[in-house]
Structure 1
Amino acid sequence: MFWIKQIVIGDGERGLLYRDRRLVRVLGAGVYRFFDPFKRLSVVVHNVTRAEYAGADGEVLMAQGGDALTAHFVLADVGTGQVGLVLKNGKLEDVLAPGTRKLYWKELVPVEVRLVSLDGSLEVEADVAARLRQLGALAKMAVVVEVPVESAGLLFIDSKLVRTLAPGNYAFWGFRKNVAAEVIELRVQSLEVSGQELLTRDKVSLRVNLAASLRVTDPIAARTKVTKFGDYVYRELQYGLRKAVSAKTLDELLGDKASLDADIFAYVRGRVTELGIEVLGVGVKDVILPGEMKDILNSVVQAEKAAQANVIRRREEANATRSLLNTARLIEESPTLMRLKELEALEKVTEKIDKLTVFGGLDGVLKQLVTLQQ
């Protein structure tokens, strides 16, 4: 009885029977008795509710092969140019990196390993990506790219532009090759150039704030022909503004800002068109003068307004004098009109006094109050 070794294997277990530390067979669920007087037998019990083989001798088992291996294990041997998709009960549960070798128990959980080649497209199939995202493992194994509406995505593999991505969600395997993506916005963008210290043609120092609107029409050209297209457009706006301001006097700038906008727009548009960028508009927001120049311009404006006011006042005085002359001529020609004027004068006088004593009745008022010498 001392020479009999009894081994019990549960329903969720499998045992590996070793003789002299070499695998003999795989034991299924049940009770086993072995005659082992010299204690040459040993059994390692494994829990097969988890399909992955957890033993330290997995590489030895895979190297030996044989019927025992194929009868009880699924061998996942992923090449260096492949990715292994591990399906348990028909559902994706794990992803094996290129060059991985792994054993899975066949006993309780049906396991299937699908190999995906990385030699062609690196894009992860939509259903695989959705399952990996559900498992929380997508970001660990793939490069995830989200391209919003009114944007374009540029896919680079090993620093080479491969394709343009339309709006949507994408995932690309991150094994073997360096995968990167960049999203270029195609909507209209605004760009401001603030606080530029400039000199006009007549050597007046001023500060100018400029605003421009632009959009990307060719994302490939905008990304590949210049390092950062936003910085490039900003510098070109600076150069165009400096060139346009230096060609005009202060009076020309203040008198016709529209021509300044047109000059800057023409310059910048010609410089960025070949980069896949369209400039939609350019406008000078503010022209800021130094304090002493403001005082001088205010004095000039005040003098101009005072002169205009003086001209208007003289013109009105001449018109009033001319009107008085015409009225005098009419009164001279019509005694009745003269008498009406006298009565108007009398009315104005009576409005300013409390009491008026009249001698001679109404006739005295009409004839003797105002006497005109012929």
Structure 2
Amino acid sequence: MLKRFVVLKSERAALLKDGDFERILSAGRHYFFDPMNRLSVQTWKLDAPMLDIKLVDYLLEHDPQTVAEHFVCMELNEDEAGLRYENKILVEVLAPGSRRVFWKGLVEQRLEKVDLQQGYEVAPQLAAHFLQPSLRAHAVSGLAGLLIVQVPAYHVGVLRVDGQVQRLMSPGVGAFWRFNREVLVELVDMRLQNMEVSGQEILSSDKVGLRLNLAATWRYTDVLLAHEKLAKPVEHLYRELQFGLRAAVGTRSLDELLENKQIIDEAVSAHVARKLDGFGIEVNSIGVKDIVLPGEMKIILAKVVEAGKLAEANVIRRREETAATRSLLNTAKVMEGNPVALRLKELETLERVAERVDRISVFGGLDQVLSGLVNIKGA
């Protein structure tokens, strides 16, 4: 019985006899005499990886010439990463220990090996191929093995490899191999920053419970020094602000705190400056935003303030009354010995009376009116 097998130009096939490999069939029509129906073929696409690795291993052992003719084998050891190119275009990042087998003929396959022992940084010209993968015509797979970091303006990046701080990264883009090591980059803002310490409930020295809110501005002066001496610099600064605030409030009475809130700012600033000296952190300003009193204490203080204001008002009223009485007495003394002044006062009184009267009828002349209104006789 004559059998015909057709292999497309985009395919390769293996001729099998009783299910066992016989040879590779290239593209075309193939005729075989098979009276016992023992022959069959298995086909593979040329643009896909060869998944039957066991067959390739068999050929490597028994027919290496066939492997060299039909396959491109890519193998990496434990200290190598790989960059796989198809038709000179990067398409995949291979992890250490990877193995790939591809058919020759349709797509040009090339492997570029990277020695991971030589360093953890990716060359800048190579890192540019990993940026914006969604905008590339051919996506790059295997990017999980890379750490790609973009440091914004006014920031620096603290590079850690296997838990050790290596260096600072300037603004820009960097890429690092993550294979066989742990690589982390922490972004640090070098600008002046705000920190809020809110809702701190503290007892004053006279056992009055207060709730305070504190605000501070700070910045890094030496990022490497701060991360070398402190595991978490921001959390350390927050705790020192808390401790300073408690020390400032707990050693002073309520009257002292309400009389001068600036004393808290000065005390906390001195505490923080002393505790953070030599840690690469600078605190520019500290201020208490508000002091919240308990409800019953608010009522008591309101009564105290009200009583004080009432007392001040009474003092002012008495002072003004005394001044007015003294002024009247001085006026009376002047009029007593000065008839002209007395006459002027009479005219002033008449003017005031006339302002409140719509119509006036005068009988006996102006002198009679004045004598009838004001009659002051000497002794």
Q: TM-score, normalised by structure 2?
A: 0.84
Once residues 99 and 360 of structure 2 are traced to their aligned partners in structure 1, the CA distance between those partners, rounded to angstroms, is 132
Deviates more, 1:198-207 or 1:110-119: 198-207
Using the TM superposition, give the Cα deviation of residue 358 of structure 1 relative to its aligned residue in structure 2, in angstroms.
5.5
Using the TM superposition, give the Cα deviation of residue 206 of structure 1 relative to its aligned residue in structure 2, in angstroms.
2.4
Aligned to 2:242: 238
Distance 1:171 1:64, change over 3 A: farther
1:117 aligns with 2:112: no
Once residues 372 and 29 of structure 2 are traced to their aligned partners in structure 1, the CA distance between those partners, rounded to angstroms, is 157
1:61 aligns with 2:62: no
Aligned to 2:7: 9
Once residues 160 and 173 of structure 1 are traced to their aligned partners in structure 2, the CA distance between those partners, rounded to angstroms, is 16
Once residues 218 and 171 of structure 2 are traced to their aligned partners in structure 1, the CA distance between those partners, rounded to angstroms, is 21
Contact 1:58 1:102 in 2 (8 A): no
SS of corresponding position for 1:282: strand
1:263 aligns with 2:240: no
Deviates more, 1:74-83 or 1:295-304: 295-304
State the Cα RMSD in Å.
Answer: 3.1
Using the TM superposition, give the Cα deviation of residue 243 of structure 1 relative to its aligned residue in structure 2, in angstroms.
1.1
Once residues 293 and 220 of structure 2 are traced to their aligned partners in structure 1, the CA distance between those partners, rounded to angstroms, is 35
- Which residue of 54, 74, 77 maps to 1:76? 74
Aligned to 1:129: 130
State how 1:92-111 maps to structure 2 within 5 Å. 92-111=90-109
Once residues 320 and 131 of structure 1 are traced to their aligned partners in structure 2, the CA distance between those partners, rounded to angstroms, is 87
Once residues 228 and 107 of structure 2 are traced to their aligned partners in structure 1, the CA distance between those partners, rounded to angstroms, is 51
Distance 1:196 1:101, change over 3 A: closer
SS of corresponding position for 2:118: coil
1:319 aligns with 2:323: yes
Once residues 369 and 92 of structure 2 are traced to their aligned partners in structure 1, the CA distance between those partners, rounded to angstroms, is 124
1:248 aligns with 2:249: no
Aligned to 1:180: 184
Once residues 258 and 351 of structure 1 are traced to their aligned partners in structure 2, the CA distance between those partners, rounded to angstroms, is 57
- Which residue of 164, 167, 181 maps to 2:168? 164
Deviates more, 1:88-97 or 1:151-160: 151-160
SS of corresponding position for 1:371: coil
Once residues 30 and 247 of structure 1 are traced to their aligned partners in structure 2, the CA distance between those partners, rounded to angstroms, is 96
Once residues 44 and 303 of structure 2 are traced to their aligned partners in structure 1, the CA distance between those partners, rounded to angstroms, is 99
1:150 aligns with 2:151: no
Once residues 197 and 358 of structure 2 are traced to their aligned partners in structure 1, the CA distance between those partners, rounded to angstroms, is 75
Residues 43-90 of structure 1: per-residue CA shift (max 9 Å, x gap): 543332x15223341222234463322222222122221122221111
SS of corresponding position for 2:268: helix
SS of corresponding position for 1:242: helix
Aligned to 2:25: 27
Whichever residue aligns with residue 129 of structure 2, its letter is V
Residues 239-297 of structure 1: per-residue CA shift (max 9 Å, x gap): 11111123323222112211220110111122234333221211111112223333332
SS of corresponding position for 2:324: helix
Using the TM superposition, give the Cα deviation of residue 356 of structure 1 relative to its aligned residue in structure 2, in angstroms.
6.5
Once residues 285 and 51 of structure 1 are traced to their aligned partners in structure 2, the CA distance between those partners, rounded to angstroms, is 67
Deviates more, 1:178-187 or 1:254-263: 178-187
Distance 1:147 1:338, change over 3 A: same
Residues 272-328 of structure 1: per-residue CA shift (max 9 Å, x gap): 343332212111111122233333323332232223222322322232233223322
Contact 2:82 2:113 in 1 (8 A): yes
Distance 1:141 1:63, change over 3 A: farther
Once residues 362 and 255 of structure 1 are traced to their aligned partners in structure 2, the CA distance between those partners, rounded to angstroms, is 65
Once residues 101 and 355 of structure 1 are traced to their aligned partners in structure 2, the CA distance between those partners, rounded to angstroms, is 122
Whichever residue aligns with residue 9 of structure 1, its letter is V
Contact 2:147 2:177 in 1 (8 A): yes
Report the count of equivalent residues.
371
Aligned to 2:345: 341
Whichever residue aligns with residue 141 of structure 2, its letter is A
Using the TM superposition, give the Cα deviation of residue 332 of structure 1 relative to its aligned residue in structure 2, in angstroms.
3.0
Contact 1:206 1:287 in 2 (8 A): yes
Once residues 131 and 334 of structure 1 are traced to their aligned partners in structure 2, the CA distance between those partners, rounded to angstroms, is 104
Q: TM-score, normalised by structure 1?
A: 0.85
Distance 1:309 1:108, change over 3 A: same
Residues 101-141 of structure 1: per-residue CA shift (max 9 Å, x gap): 32222212111111111112333432331375541635433
Gaps of 5+ in 1: none
Deviates more, 1:119-128 or 1:36-45: 36-45
- Which residue of 34, 48, 52 maps to 2:49? 52
Aligned to 1:87: 85
Contact 1:51 1:106 in 2 (8 A): no
1:213 aligns with 2:210: no
Deviates more, 1:295-304 or 1:31-40: 31-40
Once residues 338 and 305 of structure 2 are traced to their aligned partners in structure 1, the CA distance between those partners, rounded to angstroms, is 49
Deviates more, 1:330-339 or 1:260-269: 330-339
Whichever residue aligns with residue 27 of structure 1, its letter is L
Gaps of 5+ in 2: none
Distance 1:363 1:223, change over 3 A: closer
Once residues 367 and 70 of structure 2 are traced to their aligned partners in structure 1, the CA distance between those partners, rounded to angstroms, is 147
